[in-house]
Structure 1
Amino acid sequence: MCNQREITGDAVNFHCERRVLFQDCDAAKIVFYPRYMEMLDDVVEDWLREIGVWGYPLANGDSDCNRPQLTKAEIDFQHPSQLGDNLQFALTLQKVDEYRIWLLASVSCHDESRLKVKLELASAARGEQIGRSALPHAMYQSLVAQFAATKP
């Protein structure tokens, strides 16, 4: 989760900060690369919650909720991050359809790019193959409406 109180953005652009913790690092105090994926998953969840289209199925009583799951990531690691760094995360919604969400994510620290990631999320209903069921209708409609509002 983003551990800075200031979260800014909208459905198309989202920004937050997170400090690199001891748990994120290897013995050399450098971020262990798989931890970036966990951090990005937290940022995506914060973004969906911030725009009002996210809730845990068990928390809201909807056990049939189709949660978007990370299904694909193309990662370009550029510079290592270290214990104590304040990382700035930026998400940009690239595209959305009834089954998938495509995002571009970047992570930086003091204006130095640490990594860039193309993310693909797909719907995951209980008992079904990922990407075979539609995103929750309200989520899809909200993302489409907010995405369209940013286009000329």
Structure 2
Amino acid sequence: MGFETTRPLRFGDCDPSGIAYFPSYLNMLVGVLEDFFASLGFPWKTLIADRRIGVPTVRLDVTFSNPGFQGDELEFDIAVAGIGRSSLDLNHTISAYGKVLWTARQRVVATSLDTHQSLAWPADVRAALTHHLETTDAHDPAA
């Protein structure tokens, strides 16, 4: 069960030729991740200010397949690929008009904002993330 949302590709997200500027994509990805956590009931303001939990990216592998253009409506799909003690592996697929523009594999880690060390996902956050965990059988037509 993935998370889906859309974002417009705006004039300010593009280079002078009207093609998406890749750092804008990464900025959008951060916003989509923030929306994902909010949809689980854990807005970042609460995680950061009240619970003192950070969610930094420790690995990001991006593959660009097709250009995005100003005015495109980008469809972001997040799949939870794995949950570790403190890590969370996510697969992102970003498309427009049914065509994949780019994909990303991302690992974020729960950290204490007081010690800046990793910490185990709190039980309530882990339970919400686990609800979204994709299994390999779900993608295997033979299963």
Instruction: Classify the TM-score, shorter chain.
Output: 0.7 to 0.9
Output the CA distance in 2 between the equivalents of 1:53 and 1:97.
18
Q: How does 1:70-149 map to 2 (within 5 A)?
A: 70-129=57-116, 132-144=118-130, 146-147=131-132
1:51 equivalent in alignment to 2:37: no
Alignment coverage as a number of residue pairs? 137
Given the superposition, is the C-alpha separation of residues 97 and 58 from structure 1 closer, same or farther in structure 2, using an over 3 Å criterion? Answer: closer
TM-score by length of 1: 0.78
Counterpart of 1:16 in structure 2 is 5
Structure 2, unmatched stretches of 5+, are 139-143
Structure 1, unmatched stretches of 5+, are 1-11
Output the CA distance in 1 between the equivalents of 2:83 and 2:17.
39
Superimposed CA distance per residue, residues 44-68 of structure 1 (whole angstroms, 9 cap, x where no aligned partner): 1111111213331488x51x42122
Amino acid at match of 1:53: F
- Could you say what secondary structure the match of 2:17 adopts? coil
Partners of 1:76 and 1:115 within 8 A in 2: yes
Identity of aligned residues (%): 21
- Could you say what secondary structure the match of 2:127 adopts? helix
Counterpart of 2:141 in structure 1 is none
